[in-house]
């Protein structure tokens, strides 16, 4: 299907088999790509809310940012709409997570013509030796759980934005340095907070396996009931395995995730008698402007990566501390 459609005409022929909008196939014109030569800022399409947050920090008002996903949306299962196709067609730049984060959409992004569209996969921009290898998908895509690692994607993002808007090179580079500095500050805060729990209390049980980078950075043993992606349901064997672990290790609480159905965690809590410690943000930020209390620091906005990670750490510590 893909090669058949990819032969000529618009590069978006490749999207059509995925989107089920075959009625649009009779195109004759090349897509309108914002050249950036006029007064309008170049258009950037971003996928998840974490990526949008980072691109906003580094790109600011120099770009028009058009996100595909909003709060609470699961990227693994995301299906692009006709409006999304329109956004991608008109964009100059597409920035995504890669490493199979966005399910089948990654395939679409990888097939975009580099002569017509600037693309960046933040996950693929990281050196292989800092990624967590996993069976089947090669590497775990949930890199934003480690603020220091997320900061390491900034140089590739800066280079991409400079390519899209060379006249703003200095400003973009300055913003990039500020974003990295702020992420390193966040990393220190998270490390300091995680030290409030003894090592044996740091067992993090969640719906799907989205916290391995978070666990590696902040010293948690992480157990996801489902695998790395949410595209297959947890089986009885997975549930039994987690119930055994929760009982054996005397885990005090387990956690639901904002972008995944709570059913499996609720069932484990019911069957094992363990408490539900609250809701964590895994693959999407919270509602922009929704404030959450994180102790000494006061309140943070759940709609930012800083707010997301601080909110998660606070929820985890409050639920797992003796
Ligand atoms: Zn995930």
- Give the distance (Å) from ligand 1 centre to CA of residue 126: 18
Q: For residue 282, is pLDDT > 80?
A: yes
Residue 227 CA, ligand 1 centroid: distance in Å? 9
**How many other β-carbons are positioned within 10 Å of the β-carbon of residue 296?**
6
- Domain 2-184 class? alpha beta
Across 62-71, 135-144, 293-302, which has the greatest mean pLDDT? Answer: 62-71
Q: Where in the chain is the domain with CATH 3.40.50.1980?
A: 2-184, 194-320
Residues 45, 155 contacting (CB under 8 angstroms):
no
The pTM assigned to this predicted structure is 0.87
DSSP 212: H
Angle at 184 between CA 181 and CA 190, to 5 degrees: 145
Q: What is the pLDDT of residues 176-188, one digit of tens each?
A: 999 999 999 999 9
Among 17-26, 36-45, 213-222, which stretch is predicted with the lowest mean pLDDT? Answer: 17-26
With contact defined as beta carbons under 8 Å apart, do 56 and 65 qualify? yes
Residues 6+ apart with CB under 8 A from 23: none
pLDDT per residue over 88-120, tens digit each? 999 999 999 999 999 889 888 989 998 899 999
Structural contact between residues 257 and 247, judged by C-beta atoms closer than 8 angstroms: no
CA of 308 to the centre of ligand 1 (A): 15
Domain over 194-320 is classified CATH 3.30.450.30: no
Tell how far the Cα of 212 is from the centroid of ligand 1, in angstroms.
10
């Amino acid at each position: 299907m893909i090669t058949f459609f990819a032969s000529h005409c618009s590069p978006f022929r490749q999207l059509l088999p995925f989107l089920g909008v075959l009625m649009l196939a009779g195109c004759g014109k090349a897509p309108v790509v914002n050249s950036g030569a006029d007064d309008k800022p170049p258009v950037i399409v971003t996928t998840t809310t974490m990526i949008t947050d980072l691109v906003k920090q580094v790109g600011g008002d120099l770009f028009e940012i058009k996100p595909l996903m909003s709060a609470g949306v699961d990227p693994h299962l995301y299906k692009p709409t006709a409006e999304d196709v329109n956004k991608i067609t008109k964009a100059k730049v597409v920035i995504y997570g890669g490493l199979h984060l966005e399910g089948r959409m990654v395939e679409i992004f990888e097939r975009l013509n580099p002569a017509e569209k600037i693309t960046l996969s933040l996950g693929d921009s990281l050196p292989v030796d800092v990624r967590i290898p996993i069976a089947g998908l090669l590497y775990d895509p949930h890199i934003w759980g480690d603020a220091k690692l997320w900061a390491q994607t900034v140089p590739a993002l800066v280079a991409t934005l400079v390519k899209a808007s060379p006249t703003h090179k200095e400003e973009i580079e300055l913003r990039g340095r500020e974003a990295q500095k702020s992420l390193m500050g966040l990393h220190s805060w998270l490390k300091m907070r995680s030290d409030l729990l003894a090592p044996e209390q740091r067992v993090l049980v969640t719906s799907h396996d989205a916290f391995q980078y978070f666990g590696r950075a902040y010293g948690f043993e992480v157990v996801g009931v489902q695998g790395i992606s949410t595209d297959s349901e947890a089986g009885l064997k997975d549930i039994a395995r987690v119930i055994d672990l929760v009982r054996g290790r005397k885990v005090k609480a387990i956690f639901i995730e904002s972008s995944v159905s709570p059913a499996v965690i609720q069932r484990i809590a019911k069957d094992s008698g363990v408490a539900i410690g609250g809701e964590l943000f895994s693959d999407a930020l919270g509602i922009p402007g929704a404030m959450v209390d994180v102790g000494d620091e006061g309140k943070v906005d759940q709609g930012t990566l800083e707010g997301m990670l601080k909110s998660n750490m606070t929820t985890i510590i409050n639920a797992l501390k003796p």
